């Protein structure tokens, strides 16, 4: 049995916990082995806390969580590794920044029923879980009150009634947290309910799991995906080419082989991918694995993430730089999410 030292398990995490579930799958065991202590992660990378600019933050309300497979793609000895900086809880997060909010994208007011966001015409988003395989330090949902806003006991009937009553909804997005934190059985329970609603045409999954814990895409998941009665889209979340190793690449190929259209969204992050070479490499690496770049998001102004901010003029320069080097289909759309707007806002050069 794997010793678990954590006290942060959320309810979906409990489902996955090998201590609670003797029949746990391999990916669940992998998830339970994830690093939860910044010093242990640094030590595995032959680094000390003193080498981290500004220091680490071990007692963090949004604690560190890093799957070992993901950590294995970091460069030992490099305190500025672009994967490490995405996930390492640092002291910098505690600095107050004016204009950085708890709910920067206005999810609260867009809640149509518990766990269901209806912001945009034709699409609804289900917050299926608060659990994630990794805790990205810039996450706009890092303060999201998951436990207050999801239906209790996985009872999606209110959300299903809402979707069934609005025939303009043609696409359902499973999001979270990470929807792949749910077991295959729970995913099937949701899709079985959705299958009763005739006007749904597409199912989209927003997930970081194929990138950070590719073991999650197991036989049961692939069978579920290929059994769905709709066109399916998997939007991965990958910010740097180093996140894609051979196992990730094979996993993306499997998703595609099971019928999914693969898109990627990235966040433009200072010190991680805010240079032309990193963005070009990311697009190339994604396409090599059958994935098209979709969005490049400007940082959401969430409390604790100000040190990742890339200013708009810098972002526009970077976009012009990558446009010069890549075919148009490998250039993501630069967007910002603005609370209350009917779509994500494209950022373009002033005329
Ligand atoms: C981003 C988002 C979507 C999807 O938007 P697309 O532009 O279609 O990718 C849908 N609902 C919510 C609440 C979102 O935040
Ligand atoms: S995987 Fe997505 S939802 Fe989860 S912490 Fe990272 S950015 Fe946030």
- Clarify whether residues 150 and 241 are in a common domain: yes
Question: Is residue 84, in this structure, part of any structural domain at all?
Answer: yes
Check whether residue 71 and residue 125 sit in a common domain.
no
Residues 169 and 228 in one domain: yes
| Two structure tokens written together for 40 | 């242990």
Task: Determine the structural domain holding residue 54 and report its residue range.
Answer: 14-94
65 and 117 fall within a common domain: no
Helix, strand, coil percentages, rounded to 5, for the chain: 35, 15, 50
Both 139 and 197 in one domain: the answer is: yes
Q: Is residue 25 part of a domain?
A: yes
Are residue 125 and residue 271 in the same domain, yes or no? yes
- Name every residue whose Cβ is closer than 8 Å to that of residue 205 and which is 6 or more positions away in sequence: 173, 174, 179, 180, 232, 233, 234, 235, 260
Domain check: are 84 and 133 in the same one? no
Residue nearest to atom 6 of ligand 2 (CA): 136
Q: How far is the CA of 63 from the centre of ligand 2 (A)?
A: 13
User: Mutation test of ligand 1: which of 344, 346, 347 has the most ligand atoms closer than 8 Å to its C-beta?
Assistant: 344
> Is 100 among the domain residues?
no
Residue 177 preceded by cis peptide, ω within 30: yes
Count of other CB atoms within 10 angstroms of residue 80: 12
Confidence category of residue 60, pLDDT binned at 50, 70, 90: confident
The Å distance, Cα 57 to ligand 1 centre, comes to 32
Same domain, 218 and 183: yes
Is 74 a domain residue? yes
Asked if residue 135 is part of any domain, the answer here is yes
Supply 211's token pair. 């990138």
Report whether pLDDT(2) > 80. no
Domain boundary among 94, 121, 149: 94
Please indicate, yes or no, if residue 351 is contained in any of the structural domains: no
Residue 65 Cβ contacting ligand 2 at under 6 Å:
no
CATH number at residue 119: 3.20.20.70
Task: Give the tens place of pLDDT for each residue, 326-342.
Answer: 999 999 999 999 989 99
Strands 292-297 and 333-336: parallel
Judge if 66 and 208 occupy the same domain: no
What's the total number of domains in the chain? 2
* pLDDT at residue 21, rounded to an integer: 66
Ligand 1 lined by 344 (C-beta under 6 Å): yes
Residues 176 and 260 in one domain: yes
Model confidence, pTM: 0.93
Cα 55 to middle of ligand 1, angstroms: 35
Element (H, E) at 221: helix 219-227
- Distance (angstroms) between ligand 1 centre and the Cα of 121 equals 10
Give the Å distance between the CA of 25 and the centre of ligand 1: 31
Q: What is the pLDDT of residues 34-50, one digit of tens each?
A: 999 999 999 999 999 99
In a domain, 4, yes or no: no
Per the domain annotation, does 5 fall within a domain?
A: no
Q: Is there a single domain that holds both residue 144 and residue 251? A: yes
Domain end call among 59, 94, 129: 94
Q: Is the C-beta atom of 237 inside 6 A of ligand 1?
A: no
Judge whether residue 231 has pLDDT over 70. yes
Give the pLDDT mean for 205-227: 98
User: pLDDT (tens digit, 9 = 90+) per residue, 170-199?
Assistant: 999 999 999 999 999 999 999 999 999 999
Q: Answer yes or no: do 189 and 236 share one domain.
A: yes
């Amino acid at each position: 049995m794997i010793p678990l030292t954590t006290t942060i398990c959320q309810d979906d995490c409990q489902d996955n916990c090998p201590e609670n579930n003797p029949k746990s799958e391999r990916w669940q065991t992998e998830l339970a082995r994830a690093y939860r202590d910044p010093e242990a992660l640094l030590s595995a990378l032959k680094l000390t806390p003193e080498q981290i600019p500004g220091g680490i933050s071990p007692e963090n309300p949004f604690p560190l969580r890093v799957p070992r497979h993901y950590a294995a793609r970091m460069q030992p000895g490099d305190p500025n590794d672009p994967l490490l900086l995405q996930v390492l809880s640092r002291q910098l997060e505690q600095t107050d920044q004016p204009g950085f909010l708890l709910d920067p994208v206005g999810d609260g007011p867009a809640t149509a029923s518990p766990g269901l966001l209806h912001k945009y015409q034709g699409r609804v988003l289900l917050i299926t879980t608060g659990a994630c395989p990794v805790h990205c330090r810039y996450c706009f949902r890092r303060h999201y009150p998951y436990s207050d806003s999801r239906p209790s006991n996985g009872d999606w009937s209110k959300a299903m009634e809402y979707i069934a009553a609005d025939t303009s909804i043609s696409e359902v997005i499973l999001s979270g947290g990470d929807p792949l934190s749910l077991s295959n059985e729970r995913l099937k329970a949701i899709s079985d309910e959705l299958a009763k609603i005739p006007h749904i045409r597409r199912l989209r999954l927003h997930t970081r799991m194929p990138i950070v814990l590719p073991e999650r895409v197991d036989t049961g998941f692939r069978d579920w995906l290929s059994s769905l009665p709709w066109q399916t889209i998997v939007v991965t979340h990958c910010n740097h080419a180093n996140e894609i190793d051979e196992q990730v690449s094979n996993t993306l190929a499997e998703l595609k082989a099971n019928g999914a259209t693969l898109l990627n969204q990235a966040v433009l992050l200072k010190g991680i991918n805010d240079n032309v070479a990193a963005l070009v490499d990311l697009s190339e690496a994604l396409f090599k694995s059958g994935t098209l770049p979709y969005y490049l998001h400007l940082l959401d102004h969430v409390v604790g993430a100000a040190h990742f901010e890339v200013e708009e003029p810098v972002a526009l320069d970077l976009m012009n730089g990558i446009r010069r080097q890549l075919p148009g289909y490998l250039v993501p759309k630069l967007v910002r999410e603005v609370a209350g707007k009917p779509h994500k806002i494209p950022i373009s050069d002033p005329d």
